Homo-oligomer: A and B are copies of this chain.
Amino acid sequence: MKSRTGKPANQSRGATRSPFEHAYAVIMAGGSGTRFWPLSRQKTPKQLLALFGKETLLEAAVARIQAVIPPERTYIFTNELLREKIVRLLPRIPRGQIVAEPAARNTAPTIGLAAHEILRRDPEGIMVVLPSDHVIEKPDVFLRDLGAACRWAEIEGRSVVLGIQPTRPDTGYGYVRFGRRAGLAEGGEIFQVEKFTEKPALPLARKFLASGRYRWNGGMFIWRASTLLGNLKKFQPQMARSLARIDRAGGARAREALAKIYPKLEKISIDFALMQRIPNVFGVSAEMGWSDVGSWAVAYDLQPKDAQGSVQPRTAIAVNSERNLIVSRSKQVVTVGVHDLVIVETEDALLVCARGDSQNVGKAVQELDRQGKRELL
């Protein structure tokens, strides 16, 4: 591969070549969560919810990246429970590229699996790893920064992370320390990344925020498939060997090998497995209007409000009520004298939650789990 020379691959084709020419989208859609219960369930996790209008977050993620990476170069990684639903939801993505992992092993094994898939198709393939359940309010900025990252990642050995400007000392995110400017690509600034820190305690998170040097890690990574596999081989040799065995099986035996080997892989995030260890990590500071929509409170914040500051069905009747988020499919909802509530009604469940307390919805779901109410999870 030309890139081994240290120069951007295909540089000879000239400066107008798209930075996405060899880019492959790897959309992580296997997540399950409890924060949007009762709307989110194991069979319809957050990425499959239309929290904002008619489109699910996954559809929005795919539509967004489709502006620069076609369906033929888009992979969706999910689980058995969701695969068929996603196949129906995304008819333009080739079925074979909507992959159900036989077991949830966190992000490192998924990304390794994706890297093999892509490398088989394109030795120069660049992976664009993206979550499926986030909101990006400025897709143009996102795509521009992504272009910069792809261009920078053309050099073998470079890994790039999109860093999100933090707005609060959130203890639920990973943080990335940006160092000196490393260069320019596609008009965007590229920085050295000095350090990854997972979910810091509040005092540390406050320091990070105050320093101005930290960005949130939103799980968006860009690198050559070959770079990723090289790093895996070096820093996660056991996982790399197992993934190589799956890759070699190929053809009719591929599915069998996957089912046999994959569930035994270490359950580890790409952050722990690689990002905290590998050299040559770079960052692009992306002001894309990002949100991981981590709670009902955030879902409220992201939506247009009515005159009373509420987000609610058109038919709802509000007496002395303000700033509520109400989700109900068919019932006549009436509020009287209540404010700052989240009210979500589904076929089998009803949540009434103080908006400021919506990070605790998961506790109730844990209790349902403890009580063995599988059908409600």
B-binding residues in A (CB < 8 A) = 37-38, 317, 319-320, 328, 330-338, 341, 343, 345, 348-354, 356-358, 360-361, 363-364, 367-368, 373, 376
Contacts and interface: CB of A to CB of B under 8 A. Distances in A.
Given A38-B332, A332-B38, A338 B353 contact: yes
A17 B38 CA distance: 64
Give how many copies assemble into the complex. 2
Contact of A332 (B328, B343, B348, B363): B348
B350 A319 contact: no
B336 A349 contact: no
Nearest to A296: B336
Contacts of A363: 319, 336
A331 B317 contact: no
B368 A352 contact: no
A37 to B, nearest CB: 8
A336 to B, nearest CB: 4
Scoring A317, A357, A373 by chain B CB atoms within 10 A of each residue's CB, the highest score goes to A317
Contacts of A367: 317, 319
Contacts of A37: 334
A279 B73 CA distance: 94
B350 A345 contact: yes
Contacts of A361: 319, 334, 336
A335 B349 contact: no
Contacts of A336: 351-354, 357-358, 360-361, 363-364
A351 B360 CA distance: 23
A344 to B, nearest CB: 9
A306 to B, nearest CB: 15
A182 to B, nearest CB: 45
Contacts of A335: 351-353
Contact of A352 (B338, B349, B357, B358): B338
16 contacts: A38-B332, A317-B364, A319-B364, A320-B357, A331-B345, A332-B368, A332-B376, A333-B351, A334-B351, A336-B352, A338-B352, A338-B354, A341-B352, A345-B350, A350-B350, A352-B352
A332 B357 contact: no
B337 A350 contact: no
A350 B334 contact: yes
Given A334-B364, A336-B353, A357-B337, A345 B348 contact: no
A317 B368 contact: yes
A140 B253 CA distance: 82
Contacts of A343: 350, 352
